[in-house]
Amino acid sequence: MKRLLLRSGKSPFDVVPVEEAIHRDVIGTNSGNLIFSDAAHKILTTPETEVVSNGMRTDVSAAGRINEEYDAFVIPLANAFRPSFEPSLQRLTRLISKLKIPVVILGVGAQAGVTYDPARLKAMEPTVRAFCAAVLERSASIGVRGEFTEQYLTGLGFKDVEVIGCPSMFLHGDKLPVEKKAPALTAESRIAVNGSHTAMRGGGLHRIVDRAHARYPHLRYIGQNIQDARQLHWRDVDSAAGRITEMPTHPDHPMYREGKARVYMDPVTWLEDLRGFDYSFGSRIHGNIAALLAGTPATVLAFDSRTLELCRYFEIPHQRLDQTPPDTDPAELYEKADFGPLTGNHRERFDRFVAFLDKNGLPNTFSHGDGGEAFEKKLRSLSFPPGVQPWNDTDLASLSTRFGWLQQRITELDTHNAQLKRELAKNRVGAKALAHAARPVPSVYRRARRAMGGRLRRALGSDQ
């Protein structure tokens, strides 16, 4: 049995309660990460291959164990070539440099603006060079998301670079059936919309969303950031991103108050819900890829190179957000969206992806297995929590569950820290050691407990 180590927030088969998923941040700050890591897990699982999730943290000291226990390390990445990810990329490079097994990169991307100007990446070129050099010592080639990243790495002198897109698009292998369910959108259409904090405020996407909200009663916003989930589940606005009121996940937004916002901690529930929608649009690439995988038509409003290059490669209907008027109606986007090139050329792109896997010694379930049937059967046997929803003050069962988790978690952490204080006092260890060893209770938990406790008391009082 060949064993592959896969960089991913969690295994597709890990059923994690919502509170714990948010606390541990199993989505790696963005639930879109799980769309491509789950797809990679399915694709690489064969009767002769076991895939094990490694988590998102990079433990350089684990290199020896990885060399002993695994036959290859597979790393699906998104927009990893960006300044804010540089420290993580450096840690990953240090780990890779200590590995003696093959290391394969699935779909890494460079992030710049829609004009493809790499100037903002200049300062991190030494980091990118070191990463690519370490990988290419252990693999035949590097798989990148699209044309911009290919040009960027080629400009740095790397020749073994292949455009393979993102593994998420090959969740169903060479099949991608997407077609319009109705000739046009109407007021009764179910529409999903998505967008980042930057696109909402800086790109003006909130104006399009607000107008769509007024026109379509069944519009639903699907967030992806961990902050979105914290806002929906705990009403946490204690961060710069959390205070952006244009986001439908903010408690002051009408879509929040109407219960029309969600964040999914598991791709399986995300895709299942999207199957019931007529259309999806917005600036989130994996939010719209999730819709396409569910068979639901989608249009991407590209906001940067990471979304634009994937749209161009896969021929996903798209247009630039900065060229989209604020009064744009989703019906207009739906009407002009052509899914012929996307579906018609999908087999060719899939074959190219499989050839990349073959070159790097990775069998896949579609060529060497059951096409993912066992994977899907196992998923269907599990019961995953639904998408994270806004607070509903009249839903006592939901409030009680959340309140109970908070009570337990806060008690555990308070008890842990009290024990530490006693032990450290006995040993006369200073305050610095205590601060290092203690695990403070996140302030959001205490605020949420106060708010939720008040709501529970009022709700129970009104029932008596």
Q: Is the distance from CB of 212 to CB of 300 less than 8 angstroms?
A: no
Residue 92 has pLDDT above 90, yes or no: yes
Residue 32 has pLDDT above 90, yes or no: yes
Note whether 354 and 337 are same-domain residues.
Answer: no
CA angle 363, 365, 369 (to 5 degrees): 95
* CA quadruple 44, 46, 49, 54: dihedral sign: positive
Note whether 146 and 227 are same-domain residues.
Answer: no
Residue 438 has pLDDT above 90, yes or no: no
pLDDT, residue 325, reads 96
Report for 333-337, 434-438, 449-453: range of highest mean pLDDT: 333-337
More confidently predicted of 314 and 202: 314
386 belongs to a structural domain = no
Note whether 152 and 234 are same-domain residues.
Answer: no
Residues 6+ apart with CB under 8 A from 139: 102, 103, 104, 105, 360
352 belongs to a structural domain = yes
Note whether 150 and 63 are same-domain residues.
Answer: yes
| Mean pLDDT of the region 189-215 | 96
Tokens of 123: 């300062």
Tell me the whole-structure pTM to 2 decimals.
0.91
Query: Which of the 8 DSSP states describes residue 142?
Result: E
184 belongs to a structural domain = no
C-alpha to C-alpha distance for 365 and 360, rounded to whole angstroms: 15
459 belongs to a structural domain = no
pLDDT, residue 430, reads 65
pLDDT, residue 443, reads 81
More confidently predicted of 401 and 61: 61
178 belongs to a structural domain = no
Note whether 282 and 408 are same-domain residues.
Answer: no
Note whether 328 and 220 are same-domain residues.
Answer: yes
pLDDT, residue 28, reads 92
Q: Is the distance from CB of 152 to CB of 118 less than 8 angstroms?
A: yes
Q: Give 458's pLDDT tier (boundaries 50, 70, 90).
A: confident
| Mean pLDDT of the region 278-286 | 98
Q: Is the distance from CB of 180 to CB of 299 less than 8 angstroms?
A: no
The rounded Cα 52 to chain-centroid distance in angstroms is: 19
pLDDT, residue 120, reads 96
212 belongs to a structural domain = yes
Number of domains comprising the chain: 3
Q: Is the distance from CB of 60 to CB of 98 less than 8 angstroms?
A: yes
Mean pLDDT of the chain: 93
Note whether 43 and 105 are same-domain residues.
Answer: yes
| Mean pLDDT of the region 144-161 | 98
CATH number, residue 47: 3.40.50
Note whether 262 and 144 are same-domain residues.
Answer: no
More confidently predicted of 63 and 395: 63
Query: Which of the 8 DSSP states describes residue 84?
Result: G
Q: Give 418's pLDDT tier (boundaries 50, 70, 90).
A: confident
Note whether 334 and 234 are same-domain residues.
Answer: yes
| Mean pLDDT of the region 23-27 | 92
Note whether 69 and 138 are same-domain residues.
Answer: yes
Note whether 272 and 333 are same-domain residues.
Answer: yes
Tokens of 50: 């076991």
C-alpha to C-alpha distance for 176 and 433, rounded to whole angstroms: 55
Residue 405 has pLDDT above 90, yes or no: no
pLDDT, residue 409, reads 81
pLDDT, residue 463, reads 46
Residue 408 has pLDDT above 90, yes or no: no
pLDDT, residue 428, reads 65
Q: Give 170's pLDDT tier (boundaries 50, 70, 90).
A: very high
**Exposed/middle/buried for 436, CB within 10 Å: 0-12, 13-18, 19+?**
exposed
pLDDT, residue 457, reads 74
Residue 462 has pLDDT above 60, yes or no: no
460 belongs to a structural domain = no
pLDDT, residue 412, reads 82
Note whether 338 and 350 are same-domain residues.
Answer: no
392 belongs to a structural domain = no
pLDDT, residue 431, reads 63
The domain of 423 spans 398-452
Q: DSSP letters along 175-202, please?
A: ------SSSS--TT--EEEE--HHHHHT
Q: Give 449's pLDDT tier (boundaries 50, 70, 90).
A: confident
